[in-house]
Each structure stands twice: as structure tokens, then as C-alpha cells.
């Protein structure tokens, strides 16, 4: 089944404790992206990747890192999480940047 898989789905952590949210897709998609969703703000793009070893900042990259060492994986790294990073995070992929995006189920992160 074609899918985008994110883990963990739910996480409560404390300020400053590094964490990684993994994202994997099995559709051989070139393009992958991370979004955060906050009430009243819609979806805001954090980082995206057009292909392996190519990543670019989105609208809200501060406090986040990503890597794209393999085509299928695009982890989101929070080196030192802060409470303002409490949010619902979505990973998405598509065949090309302008095409239909396939979304993961989301990862709800709470930073205390």
C-alpha cells in the first residue's frame, strides 16, 4: 500500500531534549516536505527536499533540521525543543514539487 509513515504519532517531551520525528515513503517520490499545523495558522512549511541530498528552508525553519540521505526517508530533527514548537507535524511527499502531495497521519508533539 502506498503510504507516508511518520513516527512517533504522539510525543510529550521537555524543553531542550533532542528529538527526531521520522518520515518514510514507499512511492519512490522525489519531493518530500515537513509542515506544522497550528490553530488559525493553517499549514506552514518547515523544510522541503527536491531530491536526495537537496534540502531547502520553508517558511518556518528556525529550530528545526532535516536530512535526506536516502530517497525514502526525510527525518525532522529538533535539536533543542522549546514550548513554541508544540504543534501537529505532517510529512508529505510527491512525485514532483508541483504535484499531488501524499500526507502522513501526523505527529502531535508537546514540549513542556
Partner 1 sequence: AQSVTQLGSHVSVSEGALVLLRCNYSSSVPPYLFWYVQYPNQGLQLLLKYTTGATLVKGINGFEAEFKKSETSFHLTKPSAHMSDAAEYFCADSGNTPLVFGKGTRLSVIA
63: which residues sit within 8 A by CB, 6+ positions away? 78, 79, 80, 81, 82, 85
Stretch that binds partner 1, among 11-19, 20-28, 36-44, 78-86 (CB under 8 A): 36-44
* Per-residue mark of binding to partner 1, 75-94 (x: CB under 8 A): ---------------x-x--
32 binds partner 1 (CB under 8 A): no
Shortest distance (Å) from residue 90 CB to partner 1: 6
- By the rule CB under 8 A, 61 interacts with partner 1: no
Helix then strand then coil, in percent of the chain rounded to 5, is 5, 50, 45
Distances (CA, A) of 108 to 9, 13, 21, 22, 53: 6, 11, 10, 13, 27
By the rule CB under 8 A, 12 interacts with partner 1 = no
Kindly tell me which residue out of 2, 12, 27, 41 binds partner 1, with binding defined by CB under 8 A: 41
Examine residue 106 and tell whether it contacts partner 1 (CB under 8 A). Answer: yes
Interface residues with partner 1 (CB under 8 A)? 4, 31, 33, 35, 40-43, 45, 48, 58, 90, 92, 97-101, 103-106
Amino acid at each position: 500500500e502506498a503510504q507516508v509513515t511518520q513516527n512517533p504519532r504522539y510525543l510529550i517531551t521537555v524543553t531542550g531534549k533532542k528529538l527526531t520525528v521520522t518520515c518514510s515513503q514507499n512511492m519512490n517520490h522525489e519531493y518530500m516536505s515537513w509542515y506544522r499545523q497550528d490553530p488559525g495558522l493553517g499549514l506552514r512549511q518547515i523544510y522541503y527536499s527536491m531530491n536526495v541530498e537537496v534540502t531547502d528552508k520553508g517558511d518556518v525553519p528556525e529550530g528545526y533540521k532535516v536530512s535526506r540521505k536516502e530517497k525514502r526517508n526525510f527525518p525532522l530533527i529538533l535539536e533543542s525543543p522549546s514550548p513554541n514548537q508544540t504543534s501537529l507535524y505532517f510529512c508529505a511527499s510527491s512525485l514532483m514539487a508541483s504535484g499531488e502531495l501524499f500526507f502522513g497521519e501526523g505527529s502531535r508533539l508537546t514540549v513542556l
